[in-house]
Structure 1
Amino acid sequence: MVMVAFHIAIIAASNYLVQLPFTLFGFHTTWGAFSFPFIFLATDLTVRLFGKGPARTIILRVMFPALLVSYVVSVIFPRGSFAGIEALGEWNLFVARIAVASFLAYVLGQLLDVQVFDRLRQWAWWVAPVCSTILGNLADTFAFFATAFYNSPDPFMAQHWVEIAAVDYAIKLGISLLFFLPLYGLLLAWLTRRLVVWTGQDDAAPRTA
Protein backbone atom coordinates (compact mmCIF):
# COMPACT_ATOMS: atom_id res chain seq x y z
CA MET A 1 0.00 0.00 0.00
CA VAL A 2 2.92 2.34 0.62
CA MET A 3 4.11 1.96 -2.98
CA VAL A 4 0.57 2.44 -4.29
CA ALA A 5 0.19 5.67 -2.30
CA PHE A 6 3.64 6.82 -3.45
CA HIS A 7 2.76 6.29 -7.13
CA ILE A 8 -0.55 8.14 -6.77
CA ALA A 9 1.13 11.05 -4.98
CA ILE A 10 3.76 11.42 -7.71
CA ILE A 11 1.10 11.24 -10.44
CA ALA A 12 -0.96 13.92 -8.68
CA ALA A 13 2.09 16.17 -8.32
CA SER A 14 3.09 15.60 -11.94
CA ASN A 15 -0.41 16.47 -13.20
CA TYR A 16 -0.17 19.77 -11.36
CA LEU A 17 3.39 20.50 -12.46
CA VAL A 18 2.82 19.59 -16.12
CA GLN A 19 0.48 22.60 -16.33
CA LEU A 20 3.38 24.92 -15.47
CA PRO A 21 5.49 25.45 -18.61
CA PHE A 22 8.82 27.24 -18.59
CA THR A 23 11.70 27.85 -20.98
CA LEU A 24 15.02 26.04 -20.52
CA PHE A 25 17.91 27.09 -22.77
CA GLY A 26 15.40 28.41 -25.28
CA PHE A 27 13.22 25.26 -25.27
CA HIS A 28 9.72 24.90 -23.86
CA THR A 29 9.13 22.27 -21.18
CA THR A 30 7.18 21.80 -17.92
CA TRP A 31 8.04 21.25 -14.27
CA GLY A 32 6.45 17.82 -14.47
CA ALA A 33 9.66 16.51 -16.01
CA PHE A 34 11.33 16.72 -12.60
CA SER A 35 8.80 14.72 -10.58
CA PHE A 36 7.81 11.70 -12.65
CA PRO A 37 11.22 9.90 -12.65
CA PHE A 38 10.52 8.99 -9.01
CA ILE A 39 7.91 6.48 -10.20
CA PHE A 40 10.37 4.70 -12.49
CA LEU A 41 12.87 4.52 -9.63
CA ALA A 42 10.29 2.90 -7.35
CA THR A 43 9.09 0.49 -10.05
CA ASP A 44 12.62 -0.61 -10.98
CA LEU A 45 13.49 -1.33 -7.36
CA THR A 46 10.28 -3.35 -6.98
CA VAL A 47 11.05 -5.46 -10.06
CA ARG A 48 14.67 -5.99 -8.99
CA LEU A 49 13.86 -7.08 -5.46
CA PHE A 50 10.51 -8.85 -5.82
CA GLY A 51 9.94 -9.60 -9.52
CA LYS A 52 7.57 -8.25 -12.15
CA GLY A 53 4.46 -9.81 -10.60
CA PRO A 54 4.31 -7.46 -7.59
CA ALA A 55 5.28 -4.51 -9.80
CA ARG A 56 2.36 -5.21 -12.14
CA THR A 57 0.03 -5.57 -9.16
CA ILE A 58 1.03 -2.08 -8.00
CA ILE A 59 0.34 -0.67 -11.47
CA LEU A 60 -3.12 -2.27 -11.57
CA ARG A 61 -3.98 -0.92 -8.12
CA VAL A 62 -2.76 2.57 -8.98
CA MET A 63 -4.14 3.23 -12.45
CA PHE A 64 -7.85 3.85 -11.73
CA PRO A 65 -7.39 5.85 -8.50
CA ALA A 66 -4.70 7.82 -10.35
CA LEU A 67 -7.19 8.61 -13.13
CA LEU A 68 -9.59 10.12 -10.59
CA VAL A 69 -6.85 11.96 -8.70
CA SER A 70 -5.42 13.34 -11.95
CA TYR A 71 -8.79 14.81 -12.92
CA VAL A 72 -9.49 16.27 -9.48
CA VAL A 73 -6.05 17.87 -9.13
CA SER A 74 -6.15 19.33 -12.64
CA VAL A 75 -9.68 20.76 -12.16
CA ILE A 76 -8.93 22.33 -8.79
CA PHE A 77 -5.58 23.70 -9.98
CA PRO A 78 -6.11 24.70 -13.65
CA ARG A 79 -2.82 25.91 -15.14
CA GLY A 80 -1.38 25.88 -11.64
CA SER A 81 -3.92 28.30 -10.11
CA PHE A 82 -6.32 27.31 -7.33
CA ALA A 83 -9.90 27.39 -8.64
CA GLY A 84 -11.65 26.07 -5.54
CA ILE A 85 -13.53 22.85 -4.81
CA GLU A 86 -16.62 24.20 -6.57
CA ALA A 87 -14.79 23.80 -9.89
CA LEU A 88 -15.50 20.07 -9.62
CA GLY A 89 -19.19 20.80 -10.21
CA GLU A 90 -18.57 21.56 -13.89
CA TRP A 91 -17.27 18.99 -16.39
CA ASN A 92 -13.94 20.08 -17.87
CA LEU A 93 -13.07 18.38 -21.16
CA PHE A 94 -9.58 19.91 -21.34
CA VAL A 95 -8.71 18.54 -17.91
CA ALA A 96 -10.38 15.21 -18.66
CA ARG A 97 -8.02 14.80 -21.63
CA ILE A 98 -5.05 15.42 -19.35
CA ALA A 99 -6.36 12.85 -16.85
CA VAL A 100 -6.97 10.22 -19.53
CA ALA A 101 -3.57 10.98 -21.05
CA SER A 102 -1.95 10.53 -17.66
CA PHE A 103 -3.79 7.22 -17.23
CA LEU A 104 -2.74 5.86 -20.64
CA ALA A 105 0.83 7.11 -20.33
CA TYR A 106 1.25 5.66 -16.84
CA VAL A 107 -0.05 2.21 -17.79
CA LEU A 108 1.89 2.04 -21.06
CA GLY A 109 5.14 3.44 -19.67
CA GLN A 110 5.12 1.39 -16.48
CA LEU A 111 4.22 -1.93 -18.09
CA LEU A 112 6.95 -1.41 -20.70
CA ASP A 113 9.40 -0.43 -17.96
CA VAL A 114 8.58 -3.59 -15.99
CA GLN A 115 8.88 -5.85 -19.03
CA VAL A 116 12.21 -4.42 -20.22
CA PHE A 117 13.68 -4.38 -16.72
CA ASP A 118 12.66 -7.97 -16.04
CA ARG A 119 14.23 -9.18 -19.29
CA LEU A 120 17.55 -7.50 -18.45
CA ARG A 121 17.72 -7.93 -14.66
CA GLN A 122 20.39 -10.69 -14.88
CA TRP A 123 22.89 -8.28 -16.46
CA ALA A 124 25.06 -5.75 -14.59
CA TRP A 125 23.05 -3.80 -12.01
CA TRP A 126 22.85 -0.64 -14.15
CA VAL A 127 21.83 -2.18 -17.51
CA ALA A 128 18.19 -2.92 -16.66
CA PRO A 129 17.36 0.47 -15.11
CA VAL A 130 19.07 2.38 -17.93
CA CYS A 131 17.29 0.52 -20.73
CA SER A 132 13.91 0.42 -19.01
CA THR A 133 14.15 4.12 -18.18
CA ILE A 134 14.98 5.07 -21.77
CA LEU A 135 12.11 3.06 -23.29
CA GLY A 136 9.57 3.51 -20.49
CA ASN A 137 9.98 7.28 -20.37
CA LEU A 138 9.83 7.51 -24.17
CA ALA A 139 6.49 5.69 -24.26
CA ASP A 140 5.12 7.56 -21.24
CA THR A 141 6.12 11.04 -22.37
CA PHE A 142 4.90 10.97 -25.96
CA ALA A 143 1.73 9.01 -25.13
CA PHE A 144 0.86 11.66 -22.55
CA PHE A 145 1.54 14.77 -24.60
CA ALA A 146 -0.04 13.40 -27.79
CA THR A 147 -3.22 12.37 -25.98
CA ALA A 148 -3.47 15.48 -23.82
CA PHE A 149 -2.46 18.28 -26.17
CA TYR A 150 -2.84 17.27 -29.82
CA ASN A 151 -5.39 19.77 -31.23
CA SER A 152 -5.80 21.08 -27.69
CA PRO A 153 -8.01 24.12 -26.94
CA ASP A 154 -4.91 25.54 -25.24
CA PRO A 155 -3.20 27.24 -28.21
CA PHE A 156 0.25 27.28 -26.62
CA MET A 157 0.24 23.56 -25.81
CA ALA A 158 -1.37 22.67 -29.15
CA GLN A 159 1.40 24.47 -31.00
CA HIS A 160 4.36 23.38 -28.89
CA TRP A 161 3.44 19.91 -27.54
CA VAL A 162 5.95 18.02 -29.71
CA GLU A 163 8.78 20.34 -28.69
CA ILE A 164 7.70 20.26 -25.05
CA ALA A 165 7.46 16.46 -25.11
CA ALA A 166 10.94 16.13 -26.63
CA VAL A 167 12.51 18.51 -24.11
CA ASP A 168 10.52 16.91 -21.28
CA TYR A 169 11.84 13.49 -22.33
CA ALA A 170 15.42 14.77 -22.54
CA ILE A 171 15.17 16.31 -19.07
CA LYS A 172 13.68 13.13 -17.61
CA LEU A 173 16.50 11.07 -19.10
CA GLY A 174 19.15 13.49 -17.88
CA ILE A 175 17.74 13.55 -14.36
CA SER A 176 17.24 9.79 -14.29
CA LEU A 177 20.70 8.88 -15.55
CA LEU A 178 22.63 11.54 -13.62
CA PHE A 179 20.80 11.40 -10.29
CA PHE A 180 18.31 8.54 -10.09
CA LEU A 181 20.61 5.81 -11.44
CA PRO A 182 23.20 6.39 -8.66
CA LEU A 183 20.34 6.68 -6.16
CA TYR A 184 18.94 3.40 -7.48
CA GLY A 185 22.31 1.71 -6.92
CA LEU A 186 22.56 3.01 -3.36
CA LEU A 187 18.98 2.06 -2.48
CA LEU A 188 19.35 -1.37 -4.09
CA ALA A 189 22.45 -2.14 -2.02
CA TRP A 190 20.82 -0.91 1.19
CA LEU A 191 17.49 -2.68 0.61
CA THR A 192 19.22 -5.92 -0.36
CA ARG A 193 21.20 -5.88 2.89
CA ARG A 194 18.03 -5.19 4.87
CA LEU A 195 16.17 -8.03 3.14
CA VAL A 196 19.03 -10.40 3.94
CA VAL A 197 18.75 -9.41 7.60
CA TRP A 198 14.95 -9.68 7.64
CA THR A 199 14.71 -12.98 5.75
CA GLY A 200 17.96 -14.63 6.79
CA GLN A 201 18.65 -15.54 3.14
CA ASP A 202 21.91 -14.86 1.34
CA ASP A 203 20.11 -13.77 -1.83
CA ALA A 204 16.99 -11.81 -1.02
CA ALA A 205 16.28 -10.70 -4.56
CA PRO A 206 14.38 -13.30 -6.60
CA ARG A 207 15.68 -14.19 -10.04
CA THR A 208 12.31 -14.95 -11.63
CA ALA A 209 8.98 -13.22 -11.72
Structure 2
Amino acid sequence: MSPRSQALFVVLAGFFVGNAILAELIGVKIFALEDTLGLAPFNWNLFGQSGSLSFTAGVLLWPVVFVMSDVINEYYGPRGVRFISWLAVGMILYAFLFAYLAISLAPASWWKGAALDQGVPDLQAAFAAIFGQGLWTIGGSVTAFLVGQLIDVAVFQRIRRWTGERWIWMRATGSTLVSQLVDSFVVLYIAFVIGPQQWPIPLFLAVGTVNYGYKVAAALALIPLLYLARAAIRRYLGPAETERLRAQAAAAR
Protein backbone atom coordinates (compact mmCIF):
# COMPACT_ATOMS: atom_id res chain seq x y z
CA MET A 1 0.00 0.00 0.00
CA SER A 2 1.38 3.40 -0.98
CA PRO A 3 1.91 6.21 1.55
CA ARG A 4 -1.02 8.10 0.01
CA SER A 5 -3.28 5.06 0.37
CA GLN A 6 -2.23 4.67 3.99
CA ALA A 7 -2.85 8.36 4.70
CA LEU A 8 -6.27 8.15 3.04
CA PHE A 9 -7.24 5.16 5.19
CA VAL A 10 -6.21 7.01 8.37
CA VAL A 11 -8.33 10.04 7.37
CA LEU A 12 -11.37 7.92 6.46
CA ALA A 13 -11.05 5.81 9.61
CA GLY A 14 -10.68 8.91 11.79
CA PHE A 15 -13.75 10.51 10.25
CA PHE A 16 -15.70 7.26 10.63
CA VAL A 17 -14.78 6.73 14.30
CA GLY A 18 -15.24 10.40 15.17
CA ASN A 19 -18.73 10.50 13.66
CA ALA A 20 -19.70 7.23 15.39
CA ILE A 21 -18.69 8.59 18.81
CA LEU A 22 -20.47 11.90 18.18
CA ALA A 23 -23.62 10.08 17.09
CA GLU A 24 -23.61 8.09 20.33
CA LEU A 25 -23.08 11.18 22.50
CA ILE A 26 -25.71 13.40 20.87
CA GLY A 27 -28.14 10.50 20.48
CA VAL A 28 -29.59 11.16 23.94
CA LYS A 29 -31.52 14.13 22.52
CA ILE A 30 -34.90 13.42 20.92
CA PHE A 31 -36.15 16.02 18.46
CA ALA A 32 -39.50 16.57 16.75
CA LEU A 33 -39.10 16.63 12.98
CA GLU A 34 -42.17 18.72 12.24
CA ASP A 35 -41.32 21.40 14.81
CA THR A 36 -37.72 21.53 13.58
CA LEU A 37 -38.92 22.13 10.00
CA GLY A 38 -41.68 24.52 11.09
CA LEU A 39 -44.43 22.20 9.86
CA ALA A 40 -47.75 21.13 11.33
CA PRO A 41 -47.63 17.71 13.07
CA PHE A 42 -48.05 14.82 10.61
CA ASN A 43 -50.02 12.78 13.19
CA TRP A 44 -48.74 9.50 11.77
CA ASN A 45 -50.46 6.28 12.79
CA LEU A 46 -48.56 2.99 12.74
CA PHE A 47 -49.34 -0.22 14.61
CA GLY A 48 -51.94 1.65 16.64
CA GLN A 49 -49.43 4.33 17.69
CA SER A 50 -49.80 7.97 16.66
CA GLY A 51 -48.12 11.29 17.27
CA SER A 52 -45.40 13.55 15.90
CA LEU A 53 -42.30 12.23 14.16
CA SER A 54 -39.58 12.08 16.82
CA PHE A 55 -35.99 10.99 16.22
CA THR A 56 -32.78 10.70 18.16
CA ALA A 57 -30.29 13.38 17.19
CA GLY A 58 -27.90 10.58 16.31
CA VAL A 59 -29.75 10.07 13.03
CA LEU A 60 -28.01 13.22 11.76
CA LEU A 61 -24.70 11.37 11.72
CA TRP A 62 -25.43 7.64 11.38
CA PRO A 63 -26.20 7.84 7.63
CA VAL A 64 -22.83 9.56 7.12
CA VAL A 65 -21.14 6.81 9.15
CA PHE A 66 -22.60 4.11 6.93
CA VAL A 67 -21.70 5.99 3.75
CA MET A 68 -18.13 6.23 5.04
CA SER A 69 -18.24 2.50 5.73
CA ASP A 70 -19.19 1.84 2.10
CA VAL A 71 -16.42 4.12 0.82
CA ILE A 72 -13.86 2.25 2.92
CA ASN A 73 -15.31 -1.07 1.77
CA GLU A 74 -14.96 0.04 -1.85
CA TYR A 75 -11.22 0.70 -1.56
CA TYR A 76 -9.99 -1.28 1.46
CA GLY A 77 -12.36 -4.25 1.48
CA PRO A 78 -14.08 -6.15 4.33
CA ARG A 79 -10.93 -6.31 6.42
CA GLY A 80 -10.67 -2.52 6.50
CA VAL A 81 -14.32 -2.10 7.49
CA ARG A 82 -14.16 -4.76 10.18
CA PHE A 83 -11.04 -3.09 11.62
CA ILE A 84 -12.64 0.36 11.86
CA SER A 85 -15.90 -1.13 13.19
CA TRP A 86 -14.16 -2.83 16.12
CA LEU A 87 -12.05 0.29 16.64
CA ALA A 88 -15.20 2.44 16.76
CA VAL A 89 -16.87 0.12 19.27
CA GLY A 90 -13.77 0.23 21.48
CA MET A 91 -13.61 4.03 21.33
CA ILE A 92 -17.35 4.41 22.01
CA LEU A 93 -17.04 2.26 25.14
CA TYR A 94 -13.91 4.20 26.11
CA ALA A 95 -15.83 7.49 25.73
CA PHE A 96 -18.71 6.28 27.91
CA LEU A 97 -16.32 4.95 30.54
CA PHE A 98 -14.77 8.37 30.97
CA ALA A 99 -18.19 10.03 30.82
CA TYR A 100 -19.21 7.93 33.84
CA LEU A 101 -15.95 8.74 35.59
CA ALA A 102 -16.54 12.46 34.95
CA ILE A 103 -20.06 12.17 36.37
CA SER A 104 -18.70 10.58 39.55
CA LEU A 105 -16.35 13.51 40.21
CA ALA A 106 -17.61 15.75 43.02
CA PRO A 107 -18.78 19.02 41.40
CA ALA A 108 -17.56 22.38 42.66
CA SER A 109 -20.36 24.00 44.65
CA TRP A 110 -20.30 27.18 42.56
CA TRP A 111 -20.38 25.25 39.28
CA LYS A 112 -23.68 23.45 40.03
CA GLY A 113 -25.59 26.73 39.82
CA ALA A 114 -23.40 28.48 37.24
CA ALA A 115 -26.05 28.19 34.50
CA LEU A 116 -29.02 29.26 36.60
CA ASP A 117 -29.58 32.33 34.42
CA GLN A 118 -29.85 29.96 31.41
CA GLY A 119 -32.63 27.98 33.04
CA VAL A 120 -30.41 25.14 34.33
CA PRO A 121 -30.66 25.05 38.12
CA ASP A 122 -28.23 22.12 38.60
CA LEU A 123 -25.42 21.61 36.07
CA GLN A 124 -24.31 18.38 37.74
CA ALA A 125 -27.76 16.82 37.30
CA ALA A 126 -27.91 18.05 33.71
CA PHE A 127 -24.42 16.70 32.96
CA ALA A 128 -25.31 13.32 34.47
CA ALA A 129 -28.60 13.15 32.52
CA ILE A 130 -26.94 13.96 29.19
CA PHE A 131 -23.78 11.86 29.43
CA GLY A 132 -24.97 9.14 31.82
CA GLN A 133 -26.89 7.06 29.31
CA GLY A 134 -28.24 3.81 30.70
CA LEU A 135 -26.28 0.61 30.23
CA TRP A 136 -29.17 -0.93 28.29
CA THR A 137 -29.11 2.01 25.86
CA ILE A 138 -25.34 1.82 25.45
CA GLY A 139 -25.39 -1.96 25.07
CA GLY A 140 -28.22 -1.86 22.54
CA SER A 141 -26.63 0.89 20.49
CA VAL A 142 -23.17 -0.69 20.38
CA THR A 143 -24.56 -4.15 19.58
CA ALA A 144 -26.80 -2.80 16.83
CA PHE A 145 -23.94 -0.78 15.36
CA LEU A 146 -21.55 -3.72 15.26
CA VAL A 147 -24.10 -6.20 13.88
CA GLY A 148 -25.23 -3.62 11.30
CA GLN A 149 -21.65 -3.02 10.20
CA LEU A 150 -20.89 -6.71 9.76
CA ILE A 151 -24.08 -7.17 7.73
CA ASP A 152 -23.26 -4.08 5.67
CA VAL A 153 -19.85 -5.52 4.77
CA ALA A 154 -21.28 -8.88 3.70
CA VAL A 155 -24.13 -7.44 1.61
CA PHE A 156 -21.85 -4.85 -0.04
CA GLN A 157 -19.40 -7.54 -1.16
CA ARG A 158 -22.19 -9.86 -2.33
CA ILE A 159 -23.71 -7.15 -4.53
CA ARG A 160 -20.23 -6.24 -5.76
CA ARG A 161 -19.65 -9.81 -6.94
CA TRP A 162 -22.96 -9.71 -8.83
CA THR A 163 -22.44 -6.32 -10.49
CA GLY A 164 -18.66 -6.08 -10.82
CA GLU A 165 -17.37 -2.52 -10.64
CA ARG A 166 -20.57 -1.00 -12.04
CA TRP A 167 -23.32 0.70 -10.05
CA ILE A 168 -21.56 1.69 -6.86
CA TRP A 169 -24.84 3.31 -5.77
CA MET A 170 -26.54 -0.10 -5.85
CA ARG A 171 -24.09 -1.92 -3.61
CA ALA A 172 -23.69 1.04 -1.25
CA THR A 173 -27.40 1.78 -0.93
CA GLY A 174 -28.45 -1.87 -0.94
CA SER A 175 -26.04 -2.79 1.85
CA THR A 176 -27.10 0.24 3.89
CA LEU A 177 -30.79 -0.55 3.54
CA VAL A 178 -30.30 -4.13 4.76
CA SER A 179 -27.92 -3.28 7.59
CA GLN A 180 -30.00 -0.35 8.81
CA LEU A 181 -33.13 -2.49 8.89
CA VAL A 182 -31.37 -4.67 11.45
CA ASP A 183 -29.73 -1.73 13.25
CA SER A 184 -32.97 0.25 13.62
CA PHE A 185 -34.81 -2.55 15.40
CA VAL A 186 -32.00 -4.22 17.35
CA VAL A 187 -31.06 -1.05 19.24
CA LEU A 188 -34.68 -0.34 20.21
CA TYR A 189 -35.37 -3.93 21.21
CA ILE A 190 -32.36 -4.20 23.52
CA ALA A 191 -32.59 -0.66 24.94
CA PHE A 192 -36.35 -0.27 25.35
CA VAL A 193 -38.16 -3.62 25.03
CA ILE A 194 -36.02 -5.93 27.16
CA GLY A 195 -34.52 -2.95 29.01
CA PRO A 196 -36.07 -1.23 32.05
CA GLN A 197 -38.67 0.76 30.07
CA GLN A 198 -40.40 -2.40 28.76
CA TRP A 199 -41.91 -0.83 25.64
CA PRO A 200 -44.98 -2.61 24.23
CA ILE A 201 -44.34 -4.33 20.90
CA PRO A 202 -46.64 -1.98 18.88
CA LEU A 203 -44.65 1.05 20.09
CA PHE A 204 -41.36 -0.73 19.33
CA LEU A 205 -42.54 -1.55 15.78
CA ALA A 206 -43.88 1.95 15.16
CA VAL A 207 -40.75 3.80 16.33
CA GLY A 208 -38.46 1.34 14.56
CA THR A 209 -40.37 1.71 11.30
CA VAL A 210 -40.30 5.51 11.43
CA ASN A 211 -36.57 5.56 12.17
CA TYR A 212 -35.85 3.06 9.40
CA GLY A 213 -37.93 5.12 6.97
CA TYR A 214 -35.77 8.14 7.76
CA LYS A 215 -32.58 6.13 7.20
CA VAL A 216 -33.86 4.89 3.84
CA ALA A 217 -34.55 8.47 2.75
CA ALA A 218 -31.12 9.59 4.02
CA ALA A 219 -29.34 6.75 2.22
CA LEU A 220 -30.97 7.72 -1.08
CA ALA A 221 -30.26 11.41 -0.54
CA LEU A 222 -26.57 10.72 0.12
CA ILE A 223 -25.96 8.81 -3.12
CA PRO A 224 -24.34 11.90 -4.73
CA LEU A 225 -21.89 12.01 -1.80
CA LEU A 226 -20.61 8.56 -2.81
CA TYR A 227 -19.74 9.78 -6.27
CA LEU A 228 -18.14 12.97 -4.96
CA ALA A 229 -16.00 10.91 -2.58
CA ARG A 230 -15.09 8.53 -5.39
CA ALA A 231 -14.00 11.40 -7.65
CA ALA A 232 -11.98 13.05 -4.86
CA ILE A 233 -10.21 9.77 -4.03
CA ARG A 234 -9.36 9.18 -7.69
CA ARG A 235 -7.84 12.65 -7.96
CA TYR A 236 -5.86 12.16 -4.75
CA LEU A 237 -4.53 8.66 -5.43
CA GLY A 238 -4.35 8.76 -9.21
CA PRO A 239 -6.08 6.31 -11.60
CA ALA A 240 -3.53 3.50 -11.29
CA GLU A 241 -3.46 3.33 -7.48
CA THR A 242 -7.24 3.77 -7.30
CA GLU A 243 -7.90 0.82 -9.60
CA ARG A 244 -5.31 -1.30 -7.81
CA LEU A 245 -7.01 -0.68 -4.45
CA ARG A 246 -10.47 -1.37 -5.84
CA ALA A 247 -9.35 -4.63 -7.46
CA GLN A 248 -7.67 -5.72 -4.25
CA ALA A 249 -10.77 -4.83 -2.20
CA ALA A 250 -13.07 -6.69 -4.62
CA ALA A 251 -11.00 -9.86 -4.29
CA ALA A 252 -10.84 -9.69 -0.48
CA ARG A 253 -13.06 -11.69 1.87
Relative to the length of structure 1, the TM-score reads 0.79
What residue is the counterpart of 1:187 in the other structure?
229
* 5+ long unaligned stretches in structure 2: 1-9, 34-41, 43-51, 104-121
Partner of residue 238 from structure 2, selected from 186, 196, 201: 196
Q: Distance in 1 between matches of 2:150 and 2:32?
A: 31
Cα deviation for residue 152 of structure 1 reads 4.1
Partner of residue 129 from structure 1, selected from 166, 172, 182: 172
8 Å contact from structure 2 (residues 24, 92) kept in 1: no
Moved more, 161-170 or 40-49: 161-170
What residue is the counterpart of 2:206 in the other structure?
163
Cα deviation for residue 36 of structure 1 reads 0.6
Shift in alpha-carbon separation, 1:74–1:168, aligned structure 2, 3 A: farther
Q: Which has the larger radius of gyration?
A: 2
What residue is the counterpart of 1:68 in the other structure?
94
RMSD, aligned CA: 3.1
Cα deviation for residue 166 of structure 1 reads 1.6
8 Å contact from structure 2 (residues 20, 88) kept in 1: no
Q: Distance in 2 between matches of 1:165 and 1:83?
A: 32
Cα deviation for residue 6 of structure 1 reads 2.8
8 Å contact from structure 1 (residues 49, 204) kept in 2: yes
8 Å contact from structure 1 (residues 18, 30) kept in 2: yes
8 Å contact from structure 1 (residues 12, 73) kept in 2: no
1:51 match: secondary structure: helix
Cα deviation for residue 198 of structure 1 reads 8.0
Shift in alpha-carbon separation, 1:168–1:202, aligned structure 2, 3 A: closer
8 Å contact from structure 1 (residues 18, 31) kept in 2: yes
Moved more, 189-198 or 96-105: 189-198
Shift in alpha-carbon separation, 1:69–1:198, aligned structure 2, 3 A: farther
Shift in alpha-carbon separation, 1:70–1:174, aligned structure 2, 3 A: farther
* 5+ long unaligned stretches in structure 1: none
Moved more, 117-126 or 101-110: 117-126
Moved more, 11-20 or 99-108: 11-20
Partner of residue 246 from structure 2, selected from 191, 195, 205: 205
